[in-house]
Amino acid sequence: MCGGETRPKCADDLFCGVNSVADPANAPDLAKKHTPVITAPDSVAKGECFEVTIEVGKLLAHPNERAHYIQFVDLYADETYLGRVDFSAVTTCPVAKFCVALDHVHEGLRAFASCNMHGVWEGNKALTVTG
Ligand SMILES: [Fe+2]
């Protein structure tokens, strides 16, 4: 699944549903600040651990203040939940590393980042599992 696909959502309400854009690098600043960027291999071996990094603010820095910060990131393989990292305002940066081992994947990795002021944002990365 790629960003920008449409699910039922109020276009003018950031807290309705999940916000996503097809091309975060060429999107408005709001999307650049909030879209979680996934760094992972393009292809992995079945059952072998690999590292996944999720970073919010990689495209454009997001504030990290008590009144405005990234609360957590979630990682999924397609629709399958893999894990969550919670953050504290000011003292932790919104960067998370996961070690993941998959036996299969249909399309790829999905990350969700929650900003206390701007709702939940989705980022994607295609991935194949071989063997
Ligand atoms: Fe925000």
Burial class (CB in 10 A: 0-12, 13-18, 19+), 24: buried
Local mean pLDDT, 10-residue blocks, the chain (131 residues): 65 94 94 98 98 97 98 98 98 98 98 98 98 91
CA 50 / ligand 1 centre spacing (Å): 29
pTM for this predicted structure: 0.93
CA 93 / ligand 1 centre spacing (Å): 13
User: Where are the chain's structural domains?
Assistant: 18-130
Write the pLDDT tens digit of every residue in 66-91.
999 999 999 999 999 999 999 999 99
CA 62 / ligand 1 centre spacing (Å): 6
Residue 84 CA, distance from chain mean position: 11
What DSSP designation does 30 have? Answer: H
CATH architecture type of domain 18-130: Sandwich (2.60)
